[in-house]
């Protein structure tokens, strides 16, 4: 049984909280929808529509809130996915950009709901411990959209 987190990211959506949570739970293993809460009478918005969705992705707890259109997602907050290898980077990249998501640059993408993600190799900091390597790797990364681990390793050498 997962341990309850003291800090839970809450993602604000216009009306797509349940759709987004179900999509994310389908992309990540060990994920589940925990609870769907509908608007009770007297709460702003149509009674009975989804208000909150509690869900877990790889053990991390999240909330998705249908709060209306006034607060769209921005790149100021992103979710980072650490991947074991290039195959895993490719998997998450393809899944998260599917259905209208958009590749950005340097391993960043926006999914179809407008949420920003960074899909990176696990241990990314290994490329940045040596200033010379860091400069070469960053130059390579700045030319990439989806990260290419082999190209990053070649640049580090």
Q: Is residue 1 over pLDDT 80?
A: no
Strands of the chain (E only): list them. 10-13, 32-38, 50-57, 60-66, 78-83, 102-103, 108-110, 116-121
* Residue range 52-66, pLDDT digits in tens: 999 999 999 999 999
Q: Is residue 115 over pLDDT 80?
A: yes
Q: What is the pLDDT of residue 109?
A: 98
Q: What is the pLDDT of residue 55?
A: 98
From residue 95, give the alpha-carbon distance in Å to each of 2, 71, 75, 109, 147: 25, 25, 19, 11, 15
Handedness of CA 7, 85, 88, 151 (dihedral sign): positive
Domains of the chain from N-terminus onward: 1-71 (3.10.180.10), 73-157 (3.10.180.10)
- How many Å apart are CA 43 and CA 60, to the nearest integer? 28
* Banded model confidence at residue 3, pLDDT cuts 50, 70, 90: low
Q: Is residue 134 over pLDDT 90?
A: yes
Quick one: which of 96, 8, 17, 103 has its CA closest to 60?
Answer: 8
Q: What is the pLDDT of residue 44?
A: 82
pTM of the entire predicted model: 0.92
Average pLDDT over residues 34-47: 90
- How many Å apart are CA 46 and CA 75, to the nearest integer? 30
Q: What is the pLDDT of residue 154?
A: 95
- How many Å apart are CA 112 and CA 135, to the nearest integer? 33
* Banded model confidence at residue 46, pLDDT cuts 50, 70, 90: confident
103 near 116, Cβ under 8 Å?
A: no
- How many Å apart are CA 51 and CA 113, to the nearest integer? 16
Average pLDDT over residues 63-73: 95
């Amino acid at each position: 049984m997962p341990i309850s987190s003291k800090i839970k990211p809450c993602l604000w959506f216009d009306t797509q909280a349940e759709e987004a949570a179900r999509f994310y739970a389908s992309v990540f293993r060990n994920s589940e929808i925990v609870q769907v809460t509908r608007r009770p009478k007297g709460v702003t918005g149509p009674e009975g529509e989804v208000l909150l969705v509690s869900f877990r992705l790889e053990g991390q707890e999240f909330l998705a809130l249908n709060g209306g259109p006034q607060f769209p997602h921005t790149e100021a907050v992103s979710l980072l996915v650490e991947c074991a290898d290039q195959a895993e980077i490719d998997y998450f990249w393809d899944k998260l950009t599917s259905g209208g998501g958009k590749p950005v640059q340097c391993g960043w993408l926006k999914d179809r709901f407008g949420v920003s993600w960074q899909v990176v190799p696990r241990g990314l900091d290994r490329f940045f411990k040596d200033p010379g390597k860091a400069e070469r790797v960053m130059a390579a990364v700045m030319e990439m959209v989806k990260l290419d681990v082999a190209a990053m390793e070649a640049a580090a050498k």
